[in-house]
A and B are shown apart, each in its own frame.
Chain A
Amino acid sequence: MRKKKHRQEDIELNVTAMLDMALQLLTFFILTFRSAPVEGQMLLRMPLPQPVAGVRSGETAGHDVQHRNPLAELNTLVISAVASDTGNLRQLAVGESTMSNSLSALDNKLGNLLGDDGSAFDQVIIQVDSRLRYESLMQVIDVCTRQKLPSGERLTKLSLVEGA
């Protein structure tokens, strides 16, 4: 009985080597650990810039001689963003109507134009000054992507073209 007990005591696993290795692994993970920042994003569908009005095949100039509804095929809204010398937003324009650099004014204007039940607009082209900084551009895109179309969907079709 005593002999058997003595044998059991002899069988000991040497964990020192395993502990060394585990500590090295732990050191590696601690040193390489970098918490990823929580980032947001805006998902956009950006096709190549297209004509602002659809063209029916076979249609010729002067076909609609009475020119009853010139806006019927107009489905793209053009927004212009002009930059200052420092690259900040200086002026905005929706179609032909210019406004200051107020994003809330742009929000109201787009809300009226895109949310109207009779509106045919389903995409927006932003004509961007080449000097405009990404931060200012994102503020304009942010206003655009908050707009809802008459169908209830959010506006996601955007194209960016470089202005002067």
Chain B
Amino acid sequence: MSSAAAKKQRPKYLSLPAILFQIRLPLPGRVSILHRVSGALLVMPFAAWALYMLDLSLASEAGFSAIKGYLDLPLVKSGMLLFIWAYSHHLCAGIRYLVLDLNRGIDLRPARASAWAVLVVSLALTAYFGWKLW
């Protein structure tokens, strides 16, 4: 009865390739790893990028119009879209974790539903602010 499960070597920790390619994560798990990925992206490069744009745009009239022209470039707009998604996802997933920390919505069904909500709301926010940008 216990043989197969007991003998199976369990990994001591989960490597990044294992998380990415071997393990089929449930939806809350995907939201969780995206929370990590978006957090890492926000630290580097997006925080530096935001500071760069804030710096130039506040420095002078010329800098302000330079940033406006810069934001018209398709590659920059795509980067901004990813920035907006990372911020939205990190914020929405973060609010979900704060609520979970208060022991609310921790059963399977509401936890799955809120994970869905995080994905949908953050994509909707990205679409809205992306549309504003374009």
Partners in one complex: no
Identify the B interface with A (CB < 8 A).
none
Identify the A interface with B (CB < 8 A).
none
